[in-house]
Structure 1
Amino acid sequence: MPSLRILLIALLACLGPAAQAEPLRIVSEPWAPYIFEENGQPRGQDYEASVIVFKRLGIDVQWSLLPWKRCLVELESGQADAVLDIFHTRERETRMVFPAEPLSEVEFVLFHARQRPYPFERLSDLRGLKVGVSPGYWYADKAFRTSPLFFREPAPTHEANLGKLVRDRVDLVVNDRRAGRYLVRQMGLEAEVGQHPKVLSRDHLYLAFRRQPDLENLARRFSDELRRFKREPAYAELQARYAEPSDDNSGNR
């Protein structure tokens, strides 16, 4: 009869791969203040909230910041386990599992060159204009996504979109209000770029997991822990750290 020592060694050998499982791989595109890179390290409100939640769950995570389309390809091909800061759509539910609790709310607005404000109240005001968009992004307002009244021109990065705006290569740029204003400040374009106050659409950002049984369970655990974290003073402190400056950048300034 084999000794207890031999049985333990055999058991550990069987459990080895599970006990030494690779870290969860999460991808996202830099989109400050939600997630971005500073001095070679990821930062941001949604990134840091997720790090805290995973630490409490005892899950090791590896982060990669990539172009958005590549993020989606890696998730769907199984190279990544989850994608940070994605919109929940019915079409995506066939391939992704969304926690019940979102990370953030976003508001899409139009940014304009201050010398060319293009008054905007309704989609018909955009007739014949060229609007800079980000490829692969989901804009919640269906009329904006499909309207034949204006042209939607993609750019490889959010920075490229604003660069085209100030060089008069597009008439307007659509972006999240907070992300757009953060980037305008970062690029030193406050004197050249303003925003329209009208909100095109509102949506929520999620951490979506690849659809497979173990990750579906993890999505539920992540949601529960995130909801608990949001009730704590530490979450309010995190939000305050990434809050917008009190300056007013509304209207056609």
Structure 2
Amino acid sequence: MRNRPVFGVLFFLLCVAAFFAPGLSWARDDLVVGFFAFEPHAMRGESGEPAGAAVEYLSKHIAPHMDASVLIQGPIPFSRLMFRFEEGWYDAVLLLARTRERQGRFVYPPEPFGFMRPALLVRSGALTGGLTRPEQVDGMRIGFVQGAWIVPFLRRSKARFDLIAGGYATEKNLRKFVQGRVDAVFSPDRASIVYGAGKAEVERFRVVDVPGEKVGLFTVFHPDVPDAVVRDYARALERARSQVDYETVLDGYLEPSESSGPDSSQP
């Protein structure tokens, strides 16, 4: 009988620890979503707040239709974010492409909220008729981020890939483009290269679509998040898309970039 107060205190402490433990955040009212920097989709705002097209689409267009409130945190370095996500610190990651390996570990909703489209940034007089055959880029020096995905179309060409690694790789490639050290810069995401060119004040460029499949962008959930929450998100996304699609929101971040440079028209 004398041990009852002790057991009562221990039980209370265990309950508190379980409530705050990583991996159980879905039990709270907030759905905690982390993101890595991927401009213009997700980035740090002028005052340090989460910003970007994907952040805006989730917070202003999807979340209002959900039962749970959504808390968005970031940007967080990609490797650290994925480690914390797997450990359960976050209930979801704002945007990820779908791969076989990830699909076996995480929970994907039925539909992506948006898409990435591969593109080349070239000089204003290049590829004016668009890109339809791999041999059109034969001999071109193309800036490329080491380890990133290359579309099969470009693999079939005889282009020379100028690889660069490390942080701010796209910005470094754009600098090389301005300096004339590469003829083009490839990105698996058209929006990011257009935005980056505007931010870097690149002049006299055009962005050409590269033939290839578009890649879906998904908000991906931790396996401990209940199925009902994922279904709630999917329903909210469907309602959001019936009112405004992601590309419309994304275009609002690209308008300044599209107009930077006297010949940055899109084919």
Given the two structures, how large is their TM-score scaled by the length of structure 1? 0.73
Question: 1:228 and 2:244 equivalent?
Answer: no
Q: Which residue of 1 aligns with 2:121?
A: 111
Q: State the alpha-carbon separation in 2 of the partners of residues 78 and 135 from structure 1.
A: 29
Q: Which residue of 1 aligns with 2:4?
A: none
Question: 1:89 and 2:99 equivalent?
Answer: yes
Q: Which residue of 2 aligns with 1:43?
A: 51
Contact 1:27 1:80 in 2 (8 A): no
Q: State the alpha-carbon separation in 2 of the partners of residues 168 and 93 from structure 1.
A: 41
Question: 1:185 and 2:195 equivalent?
Answer: no
Query: Greater CA deviation, 58-67 or 220-229?
Result: 58-67
Measured after TM superposition, the shift of residue 102 of structure 1 is 1.3
Measured after TM superposition, the shift of residue 111 of structure 1 is 0.5
The structure-2 alpha-carbon separation of the partners of 1:143 and 1:237, relative to structure 1 and needing over 3 Å to count, comes to closer
The structure-2 alpha-carbon separation of the partners of 1:101 and 1:66, relative to structure 1 and needing over 3 Å to count, comes to same
- Describe how 1:1-253 pairs up with structure 2 within 5 A: 15-17=15-17, 24-32=32-40, 34-39=41-46, 40-52=48-60, 53-54=62-63, 56-68=66-78, 71-72=81-82, 74-76=84-86, 80-114=90-124, 117=126, 120-135=131-146, 137-139=148-150, 141-144=151-154, 146-147=155-156, 149-152=158-161, 153-156=163-166, 157=168, 158-175=170-187, 176-189=189-202, 191-210=203-222, 212-214=223-225, 217-232=228-243, 238=249, 241-242=252-253, 244=255, 249-251=265-267
Name the % identity: 22
Contact 2:153 2:210 in 1 (8 A): no
Contact 1:133 1:173 in 2 (8 A): yes
Give secondary structure in 1 for the equivalent of 2:132.
Answer: coil
The structure-2 alpha-carbon separation of the partners of 1:82 and 1:161, relative to structure 1 and needing over 3 Å to count, comes to farther
Contact 1:209 1:216 in 2 (8 A): no
Given the two structures, how large is their TM-score scaled by the length of structure 2? 0.70
Measured after TM superposition, the shift of residue 98 of structure 1 is 1.3
The structure-2 alpha-carbon separation of the partners of 1:160 and 1:170, relative to structure 1 and needing over 3 Å to count, comes to same
Structure 1: tracts of 5 or more residues without a match: 1-8
The structure-2 alpha-carbon separation of the partners of 1:142 and 1:240, relative to structure 1 and needing over 3 Å to count, comes to closer
The structure-2 alpha-carbon separation of the partners of 1:213 and 1:165, relative to structure 1 and needing over 3 Å to count, comes to same
Q: State the alpha-carbon separation in 1 of the partners of residues 247 and 153 from structure 2.
A: 35
After superposition, the CA RMSD in angstroms is 4.0
Q: State the alpha-carbon separation in 1 of the partners of residues 148 and 88 from structure 2.
A: 20
Give secondary structure in 2 for the equivalent of 1:213.
Answer: coil
Contact 1:230 1:236 in 2 (8 A): no
Count residues in correspondence.
243
